[in-house]
Every structure is written in structure tokens, then in C-alpha cells.
Amino acid sequence: MKALLGLAARSAWARRGTLALVVFSIALATLLLLTLERMRADVRESFAQSVSGTDLIVGARTGAVQLMLYSVFHVGGATNNIKTTSLDAIAKHRAVDWVVPISLGDSHRGFSVLGTTVDYFRRFQYADHQPLRIAQGRAFAGDLDGLYDAVIGAEVADALGYRLGQRIVLSHGAGGLPGAEHADKPFTVVGILARTGTPVDRTVHVSLAAIEAIHLDWASGAPMPGVAIAPEQARKFDLTPKSVTAALVGLKGRVAVFAVQRFVANYPDEALMAVLPGVALDELWQVVGVGEKALLGMSALVAIVSLAGLVAVVLAGLNERRRELAVLRAVGAGPRHVLWLLAGEGVLITTLGVAIGCVASVLLIALAGPWAQARFGIALHLAPPSGAEWALLGAVLAAGVFASLVPGLRAYRLSLADGLSPKV
Amino acid sequence: MLEIDALRFAWRGAASDTLRIDHLAVARGETLFLHGPSGSGKSTLLGLLAGVLMPSAGHVKLLGVDWASLSAARRDARRAEHVGYIFQQFNLLPYLSVLDNVLLTARFSTRRGAQAAQHAGSVREAAQSLLQRFGLDAALWARPASTLSVGQQQRVAAARALIGRPELVIADEPTSALDAALRDGFMDLLLGECRAAGSTLVFVSHDERLAARFERRLSLEQVNRAEGSR
């Protein structure tokens, strides 16, 4: 057996060109599998952490997924608004620490506009309890002087090329309708948020009072004929909102979460509901997570193709090697040695390929991670392989071992049948 | 030394026997020239003598031991210890050096290694002196076997077959790829070294001009009574 190991190494080295290709394709398959799996897990995680640090999201009574969709992802609309008096009542609950109201409905060139309080920038958290960070400028002040101030997400700034001081006009509703613009009350960009990889990036933030101000002279979704209130005049009105779309709620302690949820659900004056963001996001993921299975299927296919390549290369090389195997047989190697020689080579090649693939995957994640975070908001983390990744690696290795047994067994049978003169 | 009794051999799936030999014995140190046209079963017979193929019936004995009485692994080990084999061509592993090709035998058989060392001091020295006697300069020893000419390769193969003085050397048309001058030189060296080592030589060829150099010649067509053979 020891005699064979050295020979196997020399033989493999002599065929290094072909074998390098096989190692390369196995490494590539491993790299794809690992990186896709890591991406899948991280995308899922960053999705699940689109909002964190918020214990409950309160809105009009509807489905949990729908509430998440419009309050966090700004997709679709609320069936009903909620009264600010209800929010005041919730804020007075002894377990509640803070309440941040949000008001949705308007847009700016396809990006949603979110009216909120200054607290939003302090309370809203995403991913692993990361607070929002203002990359340039400042948050809106929330007073009457800064009534028409806007803070935009990173993607809004990138996509529209906005800088601080940019004047922007909000559209009523989803936009696109002529005349449905709040052109009389333009806003000024005073802050640009750092990229988060969450819907915040695609949002224009203004104060609740500003939302009230631009709708003073509107009724039922259209400007009131004959009524025009100038931007300066608007400051004289009472701009306290009567209703908002939803609210983020933070508790003093997590233990009270179900009690507060029940309190909201049983609120007598209005049909309200409160959802736990984590739970609702999980439900939502089940809807949008089909894509991840497609990704996983793709990488499995890649792995199968490269292993088929391994078998093909070793089998094709087998005919060339029949002479070599006959020589070994003549000097006293048995058919079993021949089997081990080929199978052993396959196992080593697979192991080497998998190892190189792992290293490449780590390098790729380390090097491209910051870029992916900045460009796509996907936070890729370097971490020791997870259970699923170990399973993938094990599967590639097992398949490689199995695949290399095929040529090994064939060589075994050939060397039994050929005697010493291979029929080639 | 080498004894065949009531041998019958058929390839798997073949309707009739390829070989049927009632009796054949080769004495120790004898040189036997075995000839016959292509396809007459010469290589098959050599496979049976070397214990790589097993007869359908009958016995093939080397040094009194029937190959069929041994396990497959024991047969491989026994072949490494007692038999040197030279092919028609492609004898060498192209990725090994000339010297390593000769030393290959000793890798699989400690007995052959020990015997070689006993006469020359070490296995390596035994291989070197054999290569020298086969006319291969020290300058060639470290070169990969694939860079040698066919004539040189066959001499390396002979050196490998002979190292450690095996009782039996089997040569399967080793000169068919060589021209007349090279062939004569090769035959001189091979026969001389076999005699010096006391090895029995079974030499197969269809070139009957070589027969005169051997102690005994045998036509496979005469001894083979299988009906399918020519």
C-alpha cells in the first residue's frame, strides 16, 4: 500500500493539467454552493431584520402580513388609518416605553414618503440593533421652521443623484397623475441616511406636521377648488395630525409584549391590531422565500455537473492508463491496488477541490462583502460554517468519493478481464 | 520449475477454448522459445504462467505451487517475488525516472529487493549495475522513462524484469518494435543476464530467426489442442 501512495502521487502529477481542471471545477462548485448558501442565509437574516428593536407594530385591524407589508416595506396601502388619540392611550400603557407614529401615502418619483416624528431616527433599528445613521446633513428638526425639511434614504440619493439642499416636490398617492402634486409646497433635503439594506433606503422622510401641511387644501385625494394655502400660511394652522397609518411601539421589557398586544387588540374605540415584527416577517418570508429554493436548486445542479465532470475525466483517462495499470500488475500490484489507486486519487482530488472552494468562498465573502453591503444592502458575514454548510460540504465530498469509485471499479474489472495485455 | 497439466482456458463469453494443453514442463534455468502466429493464444498462455489469468480447468504450477491454490492477493505477491515480465512495448511508467522504473519491482517485493541487495550491496546499486550492463549510461538514469528511445526502453524493461534474480522471466515479443541490429544486441544482453542470474526464460515471438539462440523451441500450435485455435 505504501508503495502505491508514492506512485499515485507521481502519476497524478504527470497528469496535473487534466486533474487541475477537475480540481478547479469542483472548487468552483463548492464556491458556488457555499457562497449561495451564505448569501441565502444572510439575505434571509437581513430580511428578518428589516426592523429590529421595535417590539410591536400597531395598525388598523387587517392581516399581520399586510400590516408588515405597508408599514415596513411600504407595499400596498392601509385599509384604515388609526386615530392619534388611540396612540396616546397606548403610549400611556405602563409597559410601553415609546410610540413612533408613521404616516404613509405620498410618494416622490416612485419612492415612498414617510411622515414621522424626530424620534423615528432615534428609535428605528434594523439588522442586529443598528440604529439609523445620518451620512450627510442632519435629521429634520420637527419644528415649524424646519417644516419643509426632508431626510432621504441612501438609494433615493443614489438613484436620483440628490445632494443636500436639493428641492423636491412630493406627489399625492403613488404619483404619476397629472395635477396630483404638492408642487406649491416644495421640500428641501437636509439629511441623507447611510445605507441600511432595508426599505428605509428607498424612503423620503418628512415630519408628520409637513404631511398635514401639504394636505390642508386637499380633500378626498384632490386639491380643493378655489382654496390655496401658501407654504408660509400653512404654518399658522394647527398641524397636529388626527390620524396616522401605523405606529412602531417599544416596550420597557419584552415580557409584556403579549399583554400589550392584547390591550391593543381589545382597544374599545377603534379596531386595532398589534403584530410582532419577527413573527410577521417570518410569515412574509414564506411567501417571498420561494426564490431561495430556486437558488439552492441551481447550486445543487452546479455541484452535480462538476462531479459528473470528475467521473468523465477519470473514465476518459482510464483508457490511457490501462497500459500503466498493466505494468503495475506485471510487477505485482493486484486488482485491489488498482481500485485503491483510482478511488484514492478521486477522493484526494475531491477533497482538494472542496478545500480550495472553501478558501475561495471565504476570500470572496471577505473581499466582496463590503461592496455587496454598500451596493445591494446584503450584509454578508464571515462565520464558521453553519450546519447547512457542513451538510453541503459533506454532500459534495460523499458524491466525489462515490463518483471516483465508478472508474475505480471499472479499472478493477478491466484488470481482471484483460490479464496483462490490455485490449486497447 | 514450471509445469502445466491438463490445462483448459476459455475467455469469458467465448464458445470454445482458447487453450488446451495436456502437458508442458520447463526446467530451472532453461531458455524456451515459444512461437506461433498472432492470435494463437501466446499472450493468454503467458498470463496463465504469470498467475494473472486462472485456467478453466487443469493446473499451472510455478516452483511446485499451483497458482489456483492461492488467494488473489497471494498470487499478486508471489508474482512480484518470482516473476519478471517484459511486454512488447510500453513497459515503463512514463512519469518515473529510468532508475525508479527498475526499482519498481523492489517496491512490491521485499524478497526481490533483498536478493538484489545481497549481490550488489544495495537495491539501488543492483539496479545501477544492471542498467550499466544493459548499456544504459548513468546520464540516462535520472531522466523520465518517456524520453528514451524504444530500444533503450526495452533494455530498461529487461533490467527491471531481472533485478533481484527472479526464478522466471517472461518476455512477450519484446523485440517486435526493434530493428535487426538493436534486436540482436538486446537478445545477447537478455540471454546473457538470464544465464548469469540462473533465471528460466520463456520468450514468445513470431520471429523464428531468433529461435536458434534458445535451448528449446516450441510451437504453440503443436502443443495447443484447442479446436478454435489455428
Could you tell me if A131 and A217 lie in one domain?
Answer: yes
- What residue ranges in A220-321 does DSSP mark as E strands? 222-223, 243-244, 246-251, 272-275
Q: What are phi and psi of B26, to 5 degrees?
A: -125, 130
Last residue of a domain, one of A272, A288, A304: A288
Could you tell me if A330 and A244 lie in one domain?
Answer: no
Q: Which member of A328, A334, A419 has the closest CB to residue B47?
A: A419
The answer to whether position B229 is within a domain reads no
| pLDDT of the residue at A355 | 93
Q: Rounded mean pLDDT of B173-198?
A: 88
The answer to whether position A423 is within a domain reads no
Last residue of a domain, one of A223, A254, A288: A288
| pLDDT of the residue at A408 | 80
Could you tell me if A103 and A154 lie in one domain?
Answer: yes
Q: Give alpha helix (H) positions in chain B.
A: 42-49, 72-82, 98-108, 110-120, 123-133, 138-141, 150-162, 180-197, 220-223
Q: Rounded mean pLDDT of B15-23?
A: 85
Q: What is the pLDDT of residues B84-95, one digit of tens each?
A: 988 887 788 888
Q: Rounded mean pLDDT of B39-52?
A: 85
A26 touches A359 (CB < 8 A): no
The answer to whether position A245 is within a domain reads yes
Q: Do A334 and B107 touch (CB under 8 A)?
A: no
Strand partners, B61: B3, B66
Q: Rounded mean pLDDT of A361-390?
A: 78
Confidence of residue A424 (pLDDT cuts 50, 70, 90): very low
Q: Which residues of A touch B96 (CB under 8 A)?
A: 7, 10
Could you tell me if A40 and A55 lie in one domain?
Answer: no
Q: Smallest Cα–Cα separation from A153: which of A182, A113, A122?
A: A113
Q: What is the pLDDT of residues B64-103, one digit of tens each?
A: 898 889 888 888 888 888 999 888 877 888 888 999 999 9
The dihedral region occupied by A247, where left means phi > 0, alpha psi between -120 and 50, and beta the remainder, is beta
Give the contacts of A11 (CB within 8 A, at least 6 positions apart): A321, A324, A341, A345, B93, B95
DSSP string, B161-208: HHTT--SEEEEESTTTTS-HHHHHHHHHHHHHHHHHHT-EEEEEES-G
Chain A nearest-CA residue for B44: A419
When mean pLDDT is compared over A86-95, A140-149, A303-312, B110-119, the highest value belongs to: A86-95
| pLDDT of the residue at B33 | 93
The helix or strand, by DSSP H or E, that contains position A131, with its residue range, turns out to be strand A130-131
The answer to whether position B175 is within a domain reads yes
| pLDDT of the residue at A161 | 92
- Residue of higher predicted confidence among B65 and A40: B65
Q: Which member of B76, B81, B87 has the closest CB to residue A333?
A: B76
Q: Rounded mean pLDDT of A180-191?
A: 90
How far apart are alpha carbons A393 and B98 in whole angstroms? 41
**Of all residues in chain A, what percent carry a pLDDT higher than 70?**
94
| pLDDT of the residue at B47 | 87
| pLDDT of the residue at B227 | 66
Confidence of residue B179 (pLDDT cuts 50, 70, 90): confident
A2 touches A333 (CB < 8 A): no
Which CATH number goes with the domain that contains B6?
3.40.50.300
User: Is B11 strand, coil or helix?
Assistant: coil
Residues of chain A in Cβ contact (below 8 Å) with chain B: 3, 6-7, 10-11, 13-14, 323-324, 326-337, 417, 419-421
Could you tell me if A358 and A387 lie in one domain?
Answer: yes
Could you tell me if A27 and A114 lie in one domain?
Answer: no
For A167, B1, B208, the CA distances from B218, given in Å and listed in that order, are: 108, 17, 10
User: Is B224 strand, coil or helix?
Assistant: coil
Q: Do A419 and B53 touch (CB under 8 A)?
A: yes
Strand partners, A246: A59, A102
Q: Across all residues in chain A, what is the average pLDDT?
A: 85
Q: Do B92 and A327 touch (CB under 8 A)?
A: yes
When mean pLDDT is compared over A31-35, A222-226, A401-405, B22-26, the highest value belongs to: B22-26
The answer to whether position B228 is within a domain reads no
Shortest alpha-carbon distance between residue B9 and chain A (Å): 13
User: Is B2 strand, coil or helix?
Assistant: strand
The answer to whether position B230 is within a domain reads no
Shortest alpha-carbon distance between residue B84 and chain A (Å): 7
Q: What are phi and psi of B3, to 5 degrees?
A: -140, 130
| pLDDT of the residue at A30 | 87
Has this prediction a pTM greater than 0.90? no
Q: What is the pLDDT of residues A280-289, one digit of tens each?
A: 888 888 877 7
The predicted complex's ipTM stands at 0.85
Q: Across all residues in chain B, what is the average pLDDT?
A: 87
Chain B nearest-CA residue for A323: B90
Question: Domains in chain A: how many in total?
Answer: 2
Find the Cα–Cα–Cα–Cα dihedral A30, A33, A37, A43, rounded to 10°. 110
Q: Rounded mean pLDDT of A195-216?
A: 90
Q: Which member of B85, B105, B109 has the closest CB to residue A420?
A: B85
The answer to whether position A388 is within a domain reads yes
Range of the domain at A347: 2-47+290-418
Could you tell me if A160 and A223 lie in one domain?
Answer: yes
Q: Measure the CA angle with vertex B125, ends B121 and B126; round to 5°.
A: 85
| pLDDT of the residue at A326 | 82
| pLDDT of the residue at A263 | 93
Last residue of a domain, one of A253, A288, A323: A288
The answer to whether position A401 is within a domain reads yes
Shortest alpha-carbon distance between residue B13 and chain A (Å): 11
User: Is A151 strand, coil or helix?
Assistant: strand
| pLDDT of the residue at A209 | 92
Q: In the block, which residue shows the cell 472542496?
A: A354
Least confidently predicted of A191-205, A253-267, A333-347 = A333-347
Q: Which of A7, A15, A341, A420 to mutate to test the interface with B (most CBs of B within 10 A)?
A: A420
- What residue ranges in A208-344 does DSSP mark as E strands? 218-219, 222-223, 243-244, 246-251, 272-275
How far apart are alpha carbons B187 and A343 in whole angstroms? 40
Confidence of residue B230 (pLDDT cuts 50, 70, 90): very low
For A241, A247, A260, B6, B155, the CA distances from A273, given in Å and listed in that order, are: 20, 11, 10, 97, 93
Q: What is the pLDDT of residues A45-88, one digit of tens each?
A: 777 778 888 999 999 998 888 898 889 888 888 888 999 999 99
Shortest alpha-carbon distance between residue A318 and chain B (Å): 15
Report, in angstroms and rounded to the nearest whole number, the Rg of chain A calculated over CA atoms: 32
Give the contacts of B168 (CB within 8 A, at least 6 positions apart): B1, B2, B49, B62, B82, B83, B84, B199, B200, B202
Q: Which member of B44, B77, B95 has the closest CB to residue A332?
A: B77
The answer to whether position A194 is within a domain reads yes
Q: Do A331 and B85 touch (CB under 8 A)?
A: yes
Q: What is the pLDDT of residues B118-133, one digit of tens each?
A: 888 888 898 999 899 8
Could you tell me if A60 and A21 lie in one domain?
Answer: no
Q: In the block, which residue shows the cell 440628490?
A: A162
The helix or strand, by DSSP H or E, that contains position A404, with its residue range, turns out to be helix A387-418
A126 has pLDDT over 80: yes
Cell numbers at A236, concatenated: 399658522
Q: Do B87 and A326 touch (CB under 8 A)?
A: yes
A419 has pLDDT over 70: no
A37 touches A243 (CB < 8 A): no
Could you tell me if A129 and A24 lie in one domain?
Answer: no
Question: Domains in chain B: how many in total?
Answer: 1
Range of the domain at B76: 2-223
Chain B nearest-CA residue for A334: B76
Could you tell me if A160 and A224 lie in one domain?
Answer: yes
Q: Do A421 and B87 touch (CB under 8 A)?
A: yes
A96 has pLDDT over 60: yes
Confidence of residue A104 (pLDDT cuts 50, 70, 90): very high
Q: Which residues of B touch A334 (CB under 8 A)?
A: 72-73, 75-76
